[in-house]
Amino acid sequence: MRVILFTGKGGVGKTSVAAATAVQCAKAGYRTVIMSTDPAHSLGDSFDIELGTDLTPITDNLWAHEVSSLHEMQRHWARLHEYAAEVFATQGLDEVVADEVANPPGMDEIASLMWIKHYAQRAEHDLLIVDCAPTGETLQLLTFPDAAKWWLDKIFPWQRRAMRVARPVLQPMIGMPLPSDEIYASLKDLLLDLGGMRELLTDSSMTTVRIVLNLEKMVVKEAKRAYTYLSLFGYVTDAVIVNRLLPGELHDELFQKWQQIHKRYQVEVEQSFAGIPILNVPLFDREVVGEKMLLRMARETYGDRDPSEHFATSSPQRIDKDGTDYVLTLKVPFADRSSVDLSRHNGELYVTLGNYRREISLPRVLAQRDTTTATVSDGELRVRFARREQKATTREKKK
C-alpha cells in the first residue's frame, strides 16, 4: 500500500492539496483513502460534505476519514479513559467535563498512528493519503513511535514495579486513585499496538512526505525546519508543493509588490530544496471547494504525472565503510555542527537537534566501536566509528 503524508504550516492550503491529490488518484482508478489527523478537521469542508469518525464514501474509489481521539479512546481503550475521567472527577471537575478532558496527552497522535497502521495492514486500498496537522503537531506524530518505544523499554518496567510497592502505602494518603495493574496492562497493550509503526513510516518504498508551503518568509523558514527534522528521523520527503502562486499578468501595484516578494522566496525555495521536485500551484479565481475545483487543482499541481508515484527515494540514513572505520551518515539539511549534540549510552546513539532528539539503535558492528569524530557538511551529519584500542594486559604493563 502506498502512503503519502502532507504537512505544512497552518493556512498554506495543505488540506486542499491533499484532497486534490486524493481526487486525482481516485479518478486514475486507485482505491484511495484520505484521512485527517488534525484535531481541527477541515477535510470535510474541502469536499463540501459532512464527514464522521468512520470511513465515508466520497465518490468512486474514494473514501474519507476524520480521526477523533475521543471516539477512539472510548471505543478501543475504554479502561484508560475511565481511569483518567475518574482522576479528574476526584479533583472536583463536573462529571461531564471530566469525561470530555479525559484524553491523555498524545492521544491524537496515537489514534492517528493506529489508523495509518490499520489501513496499511489490511491492504484493502491502494493508496492512503494523510492530511496531517500543522508542522509542529506532525513532527510530534512522526516522532511518537520513537518516544513510545523508549518509554516502554526504559521507564515502563520499573515504574510498574514501583507502583505495585507504593500503591498500598500511598493510596490511603491521597485523594485520587492510583493506576492499577489493569491500567498498566491497558497502557502496555496500547503502546505495543504501535509496534512496527516506525518501519512502516520510514519505508521509502511505501511512505513519503510532501511539504506544502506559500512563498512567505515564516512559511519558508518553517518548511525548511520541518525538512531538517523529517530527515533526522528517517522520513523521505519526495516533493515540495508551492501553493497560491500569483499569476504573472497582474498590473495592480499591490500585487506587483507581492510578486516581487514571491520571486525572492521562490529562489530560496529552489536553492534550499534542490534535488527534490518542486511543484507549483497557482492562486485560483475561486475557492478550492468541491470535487470539480479539487480536480482542477490536482491537474495544475501534477500535470500528466501520476500523483501516487515516488518523486524521490533517497534514504536519509546510510552506513558506509571507510578503510577500517565505519561512517554513519544522516541527512540534517540546513543544520550546522553547533546545533547538533551527540551522546552514546548502552549501544545507542542520541542525536539532539533543536527541540528534537532521535535515539538510534546502533547495529552491533558500530556498537562495538568508539565514536571518534562527527562533522556536518553539505547538509549531512557524518559520525565516524573506529575500532576500540585493545587494553594492554597486566604483563605488558609491567614491562
* Residue 29: CATH number of its domain: 3.40.50.300
> In the predicted model, what is the mean pLDDT of residues 379-383?
94
CA torsion angle for 104, 108, 112, 113 (degrees, to 10)? -50
Tell me phi and psi for residue 370, to 5 degrees. Answer: -90, 145
> In the predicted model, what is the mean pLDDT of residues 142-170?
54
Query: 190 and 239, same structural domain?
Result: yes
**Which of 66-75, 106-115, 338-347 reaches the highest mean pLDDT?**
338-347
With pLDDT > 90 as the criterion, what percentage of the chain qualifies? Answer: 46
pLDDT confidence of residue 398: 47
Place of cell 546545533: 339
> Is residue 334 in a domain?
yes
pLDDT surpasses 60 at 189: yes
Query: 91 and 55, same structural domain?
Result: yes
Query: 335 and 267, same structural domain?
Result: no
pLDDT confidence of residue 355: 84
CATH number of the domain to which 351 belongs = 2.60.40.790
pLDDT surpasses 70 at 269: yes
> In the predicted model, what is the mean pLDDT of residues 114-143?
84
> In the predicted model, what is the mean pLDDT of residues 116-126?
89
With pLDDT > 70 as the criterion, what percentage of the chain qualifies? Answer: 73
> Is residue 307 in a domain?
no
Any idea how long the chain is? 399
Query: 295 and 195, same structural domain?
Result: yes
> Is residue 328 in a domain?
yes
Question: Looking at 302, 327, 352, which one is the last position of a domain?
Answer: 302
Query: 207 and 184, same structural domain?
Result: yes
Into how many domains does the chain fold? 2
Question: In the structure, what pLDDT confidence band is assigned to residue 347 with cuts at 50, 70 and 90?
Answer: confident
> Is residue 394 in a domain?
no
The SS3 call for residue 283 is: coil
> Is residue 217 in a domain?
yes
Which structural domain, as residue segments, surrounds residue 368?
317-386
Query: 354 and 269, same structural domain?
Result: no
* Residues in a beta bridge with 349: 344, 360
Query: 272 and 331, same structural domain?
Result: no
pLDDT confidence of residue 169: 46
Query: 339 and 204, same structural domain?
Result: no
> Is residue 194 in a domain?
yes
Distance CA 380, CA 358 (A): 15
Query: 190 and 329, same structural domain?
Result: no
Question: Looking at 240, 269, 302, which one is the last position of a domain?
Answer: 302
Here the cell at position 334 is: 540546513
pLDDT confidence of residue 95: 59
Distance CA 280, CA 246 (A): 10
pLDDT digits (tens, 9 = 90+) for 27-54: 999 999 999 988 778 999 999 999 877 8
- Out of 72-76, 278-282, 302-306, 355-359, least confident range: 72-76
> Is residue 395 in a domain?
no
Question: In the structure, what pLDDT confidence band is assigned to residue 202 with cuts at 50, 70 and 90?
Answer: confident
pLDDT surpasses 80 at 117: yes
CA distances from 252 to 148, 255, 256, 258 (A): 53, 5, 6, 10
* Residues in a beta bridge with 4: 129, 208
